[in-house]
């Protein structure tokens, strides 16, 4: 299964390994747990590969919209998720501009995801569907 994690923001040179933000460090952990491709720089986005699942990151006002939206539209058969935490103040714009159905994965409160097995054991506990 091909899984992508998308949270590209304007600018270049970002690496989760030396990030001071908890959101990026968490995306790195999720990448490692799922064996996913992680796109945090617009230049990283792979338009030449098809994905089965795309997890959209936390989002921010610095989110890169155009290439990320094109990536979501190109992967029209991929299941989409939006990862949200307790500090999000903005939406993940490309997800909304793609006009696709998506599910929300919560990482806080009673819905906190501890391991990937938690999602498999009780998938309905961790998601909400939006259209």
Statement: residue 63 has pLDDT above 80: no
Q: How many CB atoms lie within 10 A of CB 6?
A: 29
* pLDDT, averaged across the chain: 75
Compute the C-alpha angle 60/63/65, nearest 5°.
140
Beta carbons within 8 Å of 84's beta carbon, 6+ residues apart: 58, 104, 105, 106, 107, 108
In sequence order, what are the beta bridge partners of 54? 4, 80
Domain coverage including residue 82: 3-130
Q: Which two tokens stand for residue 29?
A: 């952990």
For residue 57, the domain's CATH number is 3.40.50
Statement: residue 13 has pLDDT above 60: yes
Q: Indicate the number of domains in the chain.
A: 1
Residue 98 is predicted with a pLDDT of 82
Question: pTM for this one?
Answer: 0.75
pLDDT band at 111 (very low <50, low <70, confident <90, very high): very low
pLDDT band at 90 (very low <50, low <70, confident <90, very high): low
């Amino acid at each position: 299964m091909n899984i992508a994690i998308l949270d590209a923001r304007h600018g270049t040179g970002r690496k989760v390994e030396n990030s001071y933000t908890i959101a990026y460090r968490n995306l790195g952990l999720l990448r490692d747990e799922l064996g996913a491709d992680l796109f945090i720089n617009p230049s990283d986005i792979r338009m030449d590969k098809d994905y089965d699942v795309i997890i959209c990151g936390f989002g921010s006002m610095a989110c890169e919209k155009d290439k990320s939206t094109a990536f979501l539209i190109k992967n029209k058969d991929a299941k989409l998720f939006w990862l949200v935490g307790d500090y999000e103040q903005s939406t993940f714009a490309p997800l909304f501009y793609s006009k696709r159905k998506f599910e929300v994965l919560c990482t806080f409160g009673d819905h906190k995801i501890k391991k990937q097995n938690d999602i498999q054991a009780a998938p309905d506990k961790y998601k909400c569907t939006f259209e």
